[in-house]
Amino acid sequence: MGTEIARRLETDPEIDYLAGLDERPPRARLERMDFIEADIRNPVIAKLIPQAEVDTIVHNKIIRRPGPGMSGRSAHDINVIGSLQLLAACEKAETLRSIVVRGSAGVYGSEPSAPQFFTEEMARRYPLRTRFQRDVAEIENYFDTFSRRHPQVVCTMLRYQPSIGPALNSQITRLLSQPIVPTYLGFDPRLQFVHELDAVDALVAAIKNPVRGPVNVAAPGTIGLTKLVRMAGKPTLPLLPGLFGPVTDSTQRLGIESLSADFRRLLRFGRGIDITRLVEEVGYMPRFTTVQAVEDYVRTQRGRRLVPVFREAVAS
Amino acid sequence: MGTEPGTNGGGASRQPPPRDERSDPRSARPGSFPGAFPIGPAISFLRRFRKGLDSGSDLPVALGEAGSALPRELRDALDRLLKRLAGDYVEDEWGFDEEFADALLPFLEFLYDRWWRVETIGARNVPSHGRAMLVANHAGVLPWDATMISVGLLREHPLPRYARFLVLDWAFQLPYVSVAMRKVGGVVASPYNALRLLEQDELVAVFPEGAKGAGKPFKERYRLERFGRGGFVEIALRTGAPIVPVAVVGSEEIYPKVGEAPALARLIGAPYFPLTPTFPLLGPLGFVPLPSKWRIEFGEPIETARFGPEAAEDRSFVFELSEQVREAIQNKVYENLVERGSAFL
């Protein structure tokens, strides 16, 4: 997604200078961007970033789920230590006016007794239950403290719901591309996503119009897990809550994705967030509703879906 | 929400079509009895299916084409089922699924008409559009009273609409229950949910007595509990929603609660674990509610818009209004108890 954001920013005439920092080069060729190859955990970025003399920093290095070959430990390191190093660098950048962080709505958790739509002030109302949730809460804390110490810098913390889209490889798209989708027996949570295009555009909107504090980012509306899986045309494997963890973990060896603790809770209790602040203060209205985002994703998926074929035949 | 102005004002417009056919024995065709297996269509279905397969069609296509041999109603039902299986159904942002709620209506209408013989009075006091808050007394362990208020409105109101209920959070931790609750319009009992729903101009039903009301012992029946901290009044004032007091009589007798097992309640995390003459003694039979006779009365709406949203900050005013609503409901409950006479006949 980093490359996608950079590509969008490159085409913007209002931006005079653009630099990107990562430990591996971007996937596509970028014309205008200066690429700095560095690890965000390395203190050397405290020298590199102030040299660039930028007015805005976009922090897009929060790992939602450790990829293959990455331990939970190193994901935690990148998330927390990386954010600290970045802030240390920001301390020295005198030209800095705003920081935009692509955070996560995972900070709210998934709670059966929570309001159906979290607003920005409802974080930390429930215990932080998973490692990722604690990481995000910690990161938010650092940026909050930083913005209080440096009132001239506007810190925007974007809380993203999971993204979905044809070009995306995320936990939810990987779950839906499996031959069979594990679910919690007797639960059909309300889920909310953001379309991959809206995810990028909301970030760009926040860069142009940074507002102080947390902002929820999601598509309007929600979708039940059952409806989602049926739209994707996949069979489900309902599992008792006690068996869900062991079963999904053991299928990992068969090459089927195991699910993060965070994501498991999401599949059981769901989560909705309120996007009034995004629409009214940042001024960005997502183009896709949650159901439309799912439709757009499903349309591009291969494979024959039995039920619609059967239906057409009945109707004819 | 599917309201059709100008249809016959009796409120019967709401009834789903299948009910009329099934409940009216005269509509059954001579020579057939309900539930008879349609042998003829079944044979021609199989024949066509075989033919489809022989001519090289795929399994689903062949099945589908053979489907045209089935009678019209069966094909419609099959189509509806397939639509749902393909994920082609509508849930709003709260997870409310009107089709699902409609499908439950025949069962609830049986309870309404035959089992509890509910009489609904004053349904016209409920505003037919825009935001409004129904405030009702709560009794009877399981929220059957909520379903009967809903059916009463759908049946007796000239412009029927579904109410959204604030439901005890505990229900949302349970498998199946949580899904059913949200699909019929239940939301977690949180002031944020109530505010958002009212701002969307929905009809919101609340039971300020909460679990205390539903779980009160049989000997305290029809004596309303304290109305919490008056939070519902604050929300009504903030959104300017009129408050409609609702009195339900009959719900107290459905599961006469004679005792409690607090240890069991703690074990399953429930707010209370009731003991009734039939539960848990008779096992699942204990869930069958007693056929008491019911009356539901919707009172005159209490306007809140004229006080303005600032009034929500005034503690003493909120308590006063909350007490006024409680008294209105309590009085209506007593009146209807007298009107009803015997509890079961």
Contacts of A315 in chain B (CB under 8 A): 79
Smallest CA–CA distance, residue A201 to chain B, in Å, is 23
How does the average pLDDT of chain A come out, rounded? 90
What is the tens place of the pLDDT at every residue in B132-191?
999 999 998 889 999 999 999 999 999 999 999 999 888 899 999 999 999 999 999 999
Cβ–Cβ gap B60/A313 under 8 Å = yes
ipTM of the complex: 0.90
Residue percentage of chain B with pLDDT more than 90: 56
pLDDT tier at B268, thresholds 50, 70, 90: confident
Asked if B179 is an interface residue toward chain A (Cβ–Cβ < 8 A), one would say yes
Q: What are the backbone dihedrals phi and psi of residue B167, each rounded to the nearest 5 degrees, phi first?
A: -115, 140
Asked if B211 is an interface residue toward chain A (Cβ–Cβ < 8 A), one would say no
**Between A114, A116, A315, which is nearest B94 by CB?**
A116
Residue B162: predicted pLDDT: 95
Task: Using CA coordinates, name the residue in chain A closest to B179.
Answer: A188
From residue A271, give the alpha-carbon distance in Å to each of A190, A193, A231, B213.
6, 10, 20, 29
Beta strands in B97-175 (DSSP E): 119-121, 132-136, 164-167
For B5, the token pair is 């102005």
Please answer whether residues B276 and B258 qualify as being in contact, where contact means their C-beta atoms are separated by less than 8 angstroms. yes
Residue B74 has pLDDT above 70, yes or no: yes
How does the average pLDDT of chain B come out, rounded? 86
* Nearest by Cα to A38 from A98, A86, A70: A86
Residue A188: predicted pLDDT: 96
State the first-to-last Cα distance of chain B, in angstroms, to the nearest integer. 36
pLDDT tier at B257, thresholds 50, 70, 90: confident
For B211, the token pair is 């679990």
Asked if B58 is an interface residue toward chain A (Cβ–Cβ < 8 A), one would say yes
From residue B270, give the alpha-carbon distance in Å to each of B171, B229, B258.
9, 22, 17
What is the tens place of the pLDDT at every residue in B284-306?
888 899 999 999 999 999 999 99
**Between A114, A224, A308, which is nearest B86 by CB?**
A308
Q: Which of A120, A190, A227 to substitute to test the interface with B, most B CBs within 10 Å? A: A227
Please answer whether residues A26 and A20 qualify as being in contact, where contact means their C-beta atoms are separated by less than 8 angstroms. yes
Contacts of B182 in chain A (CB under 8 A): 190
Asked if B84 is an interface residue toward chain A (Cβ–Cβ < 8 A), one would say yes
Q: Which of residues 85-124 of B touch A (CB under 8 A)?
A: 85-89, 91-95, 97
Residue B37: predicted pLDDT: 67
Instruction: Give me the residues of chain A with pLDDT under 50, please.
Output: 304
Task: Using CA coordinates, name the residue in chain A closest to B175.
Answer: A186
Cβ–Cβ gap B192/A119 under 8 Å = yes
Beta strands in B178-293 (DSSP E): 186-188, 203-206, 243-249, 259-260, 274-275
Phi/psi-derived region of residue A54, left when phi > 0, alpha when psi is between -120 and 50, beta in every other case: beta
Helix (H) or strand (E) holding B274: strand B274-275
Residue B16: predicted pLDDT: 45
- Residue B226 CA to residue B228 CA, distance in Å, equals 6
| SS3 label, residue A57 | strand
Contacts of B193 in chain A (CB under 8 A): 115-117
| SS3 label, residue B229 | coil
Residue percentage of chain A with pLDDT more than 70: 93
- Residue A179 CA to residue A198 CA, distance in Å, equals 28
List all residues 6 or more positions away from B341 whose beta carbon is below 8 Å from its beta carbon: none
Cβ–Cβ gap A222/B91 under 8 Å = yes
